Structure 1
């Protein structure tokens, strides 16, 4: 796990506050998901967004369809989930479906979708990335920052 090489991005941009932001979050692995959602909402607040839409879905497989619906009425969407490898191919199927599905939503709609789906071998890896106390990374915050800055860039084009 590495934040090595990550850019320094700032949410100090008055144009961000007017963006309509939606966060769609899976429900599996509550502790990790709570950290991801908190990070996303904190990034929204730092950008001056006071009322982001928050929607919960059962799992990461359901993120793309909810993101597609939210993209109809929002300027940016953040998809949050965690998939932890088990002993069957289910991990690969869910990870690929979520990744391809969310990419398709973004490209098809022109609405940026911040990718905050953790694909981990262990629960400990998820905790380390969830923005919890003691975590080394805050992927919910990072995904939201990426979505908002991309939305601002697209608006300026």
Structure 2
């Protein structure tokens, strides 16, 4: 974790927006808490609804994010990938990142990457929003996704023609 430059995660006014949260079941003690924090963040932002889906592992996150995107204004993907002694970590991280980015660009919906990619479980605990954690990725990813959805909405509203003859 960089630990510097974070823009902050104060609630935004997301009244009326729907948030989809998809989370892996691997490292459930951490992802369960991250889901709880994501739901709390959505409520703090006055989102209209939160749809939660669970999947086996992080590789499955993009396809379910893609299924959530048409019915949600923003999607949050949560998981934990811990480096092991094989190349699996690199393959999973690349697959998840590329997949979530593709879903976001293909659907035009923000998809927050709340997957912890860490060297150790202690690093994951420090980012999962537990008491005493340095970061709260479930909360921060949700606020970021809602903030992006609001930015997209403002851009769409600004592009609408105004005045006579339109």
TM range (shorter): over 0.9
Measured against aligned partners, the alpha-carbon deviations of 1:42-66 in whole angstroms (never above 9, x if no partner) come to: 1101011253000000000000000
Report the alpha carbon displacement of residue 9 of structure 1 after superposing the two structures with TM: 4.2
Q: What is the CA-CA distance between 1:129 and the residue it aligns to?
A: 0.2
TM-score (norm 2): 0.90
2:79 pairs with one of 78, 81, 94:
81
Quick one: distance in 2 between partners of 1:94 and 1:153? 30
1:52, 1:8 → 2: CA distance?
22
* Residue 103 (structure 2) pairs with residue 105 (structure 1): yes
- TM-score normalised according to structure 1 size: 0.95
1:17 aligned counterpart, secondary structure: coil
Please state whether the residue corresponding to 1:72 is helix, strand or coil: helix
| 1:69 matched residue in structure 2 | 67
Matched, 1:91 2:83: no
The CA deviation string for residues 18-62 of structure 1, in whole angstroms up to 9 with x for no partner, is 111100000000111122112211110101125300000000000
Q: Which runs of 5+ in 2 are unaligned?
A: 156-166
Alignment partners' CA distance in 2, 1:25 and 1:90: 19
Pair 1:120 & 2:118 matched: yes
The counterpart of 1:147, out of the listed 145, 148, 151, is 145
Name 1:137's counterpart in structure 2.
135
Root-mean-square deviation (CA, aligned residues, Å) is 1.1
Partner of 2:130, secondary structure, is coil
Contact 2:58 2:96 in 1 (8 A): yes
Distance 1:9 1:124 in 2: 23
- The SS at the match of 2:100 is helix
Counterpart CA distance in 2 for 1:138 and 1:4 is 14
Aligned to 1:3: 3
Q: CA deviation at 1:152?
A: 0.5
Highest CA radius of gyration, 1 or 2?
A: 2
Q: Matches of 1:114 and 1:27 in 2, distance apart?
A: 18
Change (3 A) 1:51 1:5: same
Q: Distance in 1 between matches of 2:108 and 2:73?
A: 9
